[in-house]
Amino acid sequence: MTFPALPATIAAALEARGYASATPVQAEVLRPEAAGRDLVVSAQTGSGKTVAFGLAMAGQVLDDAGRIGFVEAPRALVVTPTRELALQVSRELAWLYERTGARVATCVGGMNPSAERKVLGSGPAIVVGTPGRLRDHFERGALDLSQLAVAVLDEADEMLDMGFREELEAILDATPETRRTLLFSATMPRPIEALARRYQTGALRIATIGEGERGHGDIAYQAVTVSPPEVENAAVNLLRFHEAETAILFCATREKVRHLHATLQERGFAVVALSGEHSQSERNQALQALRDGRARVCVATDVAARGIDLPTLSLVVHAEIPRDAETLQHRSGRTGRAGRKGIAVLIVPFPARRRVEAMLHRAQIAAEWQEVPDRETIAKKDRERLLGRLLAPTDFDEADRELARQLLAERSPEDIAAMLVHAHRARLPEPEEIVAHSREAQKERHRPGFEDTVWFRMDIGRREGADPRWILPLICRRGHVTRGEIGAIRIGQAETWFQIPRALADKYAATAARTGQSEDDEEPLRIERSEAGPREAARSNRQLRPSRSADKPHVKAKPPQRKFNNGNVQANRPPQPGAGKKPAHKSKRKFKHS
């Protein structure tokens, strides 16, 4: 859709920037029925919403000729949750209103407040800032809101999540009741609904993000599982595999940012860091390094999840798992912006896989689970990229050709090509080895003979002293099988589950039933087949079920009586230190662990 009729100054600015048609959110706010009304807009990050509200508020800021001169007090106020987003919005509005004569002032924490007050006194038509700094300027008398015609709350949901409700209310309460209020929010939780009811009148609701689009259609989501010690090595290999022009790695804490930043620097990456401990000047320098190509990787906390707009950013790596589905989307939304394609990869430690799967389900994101790229895979990718670069059409001047002739006189063409390949490869950081903690652990889970298994259940768990050291021999003895014929074992609070290859399952079930009848335990241990397996095991861990001794409180529990005989390898072990002492776990049941 092309842009509808706009002031000539605004239309010229859009044309100069190459804007040929409106994005969906821009088209919606320019509809005739939206003119002059309060708006509640749901739009995803990267949809062009900054330009959208810049266009929407033009009618309240500019005169009929599409211009504005010196003003005694600001006509428009834009409030954002973070410094980075405020600076980005200021840059966008500056070029959009460049030909109108309107000046844009920015007020954010970390900058010189005295300089900001001086700018506010020079007659800016538009003020952009963060809630805390704007409220401070208002209370000190530097920010005059008496003539405000339009107020924009950008990323309103995030501002409420960050605890800025009081600041927002103080600012809005000080504005004229006749002002127009535009509320932009990626999500619409109840606090946003309440804010809209209090400060808006007859607001038009605009939604350009459907339920099926919440995961960002231009972002390919991937997830890799690793052992916890391999997270940093996985991050290195992901960066090397994708070789994105610009990539960002998200961490949960400042300490993790410092550590991962140092790790990547040591390995030869051109990397910068962004977190709450950096000054605004340091942040600006880091972002500029990413924009001009001096750095290609940024390690950041969630504070940088909003407000970073880098056209070349094509890879987001979640080095630490986001706290919730919304954070996942806001982080990932740094890529795949305005129609560009992007990749978001989650590095998932093995123990957290279920939690991540639930998070992805809540966010309605279908992620592709993959292996961490290994050295061989990365080397293959490097060869493909290198061939593409070297075989791409290139213009040579006469000096280049003269040097080439000198090289050919000294070396063979094959040697020169090999030297060129070596020079290119030497600039690349070395991939990391993904060791046994992750890749081989996955192979162990699928060792030969265990592709098809049956789960069995035992009615004993941790509360009765179940321990792998004696549970495994017991399972073998009851079913007349060897250790190598036992798969995974899951010990729950009241039950234990284990795998038997399906080819042996019937024989094992019959043998376990027969040997159970001959047990001389006070209460024979029951072993039975189960189709549910791990699902019930997880429920057993979460819900503590009373043992059969619970209805006999007067019976004093006894520890398992282990009798290692009949040729068991433990039968001839010498007495261990502390032998004869009662173990910590107690149980009234007695088992022959022979």
Pick 215-376's CATH classification: 3.20.190.10, 3.40.50.300, 3.30.70.1230, 3.40.50.720: 3.40.50.300
What's the whole-model pTM score? 0.54
Residue pair 96/10 in contact by the 8 Å Cβ criterion = yes
**Are 247 and 316 contacting, i.e. CB atoms less than 8 angstroms apart?**
yes
Asked if the model's pLDDT at residue 583 lies above 50, the reply is no
Average pLDDT, the chain: 81
Tokens describing residue 122: 């020079």
Rg (CA), the chain: 33
Q: How far is CA 503 from CA 454, 496, 507, 510, in A?
A: 9, 21, 8, 13
Helix (H) or strand (E) holding 207, with range, is strand 204-207
Residue 260 has pLDDT above 90, yes or no: yes
β-pairing verdict for 489-491 and 496-501: antiparallel
CATH number of 446-570+583-594: 3.30.70
pLDDT at 95: 94
> Which of 30-44, 73-87, 387-401 is predicted least confidently?
387-401
Given a contact cutoff of 8 angstroms between Cβ atoms, the answer to whether 359 and 325 are in contact is yes
- Predicted confidence at residue 94, as pLDDT, reads 93
For residue 582, what pLDDT band results from cuts at 50, 70 and 90?
A: very low
User: In the chain, which segments carry CATH 3.40.50.300?
Assistant: 8-209, 215-376
Give the residue-averaged pLDDT of 431-445.
57
Local confidence band at 292 (pLDDT 50, 70, 90 cut-offs): confident
- pLDDT at residue 23 is higher than 60: yes
Integer angstrom CA distances of residue 84 from 89, 115, 179, 432:
9, 18, 26, 33
- Distance CA(150)–CA(142), nearest Å, equals 19
Q: Count CB-CB contacts under 10 A for residue 270.
A: 14
Question: Quick one: which of 179, 95, 85 has its CA closest to 131?
Answer: 85
Among residues 145, 146, 153, 100, which one has the least CA distance to residue 129?
A: 153
pLDDT of residue 533: 67
Intervals of CATH 3.30.70 along the chain: 446-570+583-594
Task: Give 396 or 147, the one with higher predicted confidence.
Answer: 147
Mean pLDDT on 564-581 = 41
The Cα 500–Cα 506 span in angstroms is 10
Residue 274's DSSP bridge partners are: 300
- The closest alpha carbon to 365, from 345, 350, 335, belongs to 345
Q: How many CB atoms lie within 10 A of CB 19?
A: 17
pLDDT at 572 over 80: no
pLDDT at position 591 is 53
Candidate CATH numbers 1.10.3720.10, 3.40.50.300, 2.60.120.460, 3.40.718.10; the one for domain 8-209: 3.40.50.300
What three-state secondary structure class fits 498? strand
109-146 burial string, b = 16+ CB within 10 Å, else e?
Answer: ebbeeeebbebbeeebbbbbbbbebbbbbbeeebbbbe
| CA distances in angstroms from 253 to 247, 275, 476, listed in the order given | 18, 8, 47
Mean pLDDT of 529-540: 62
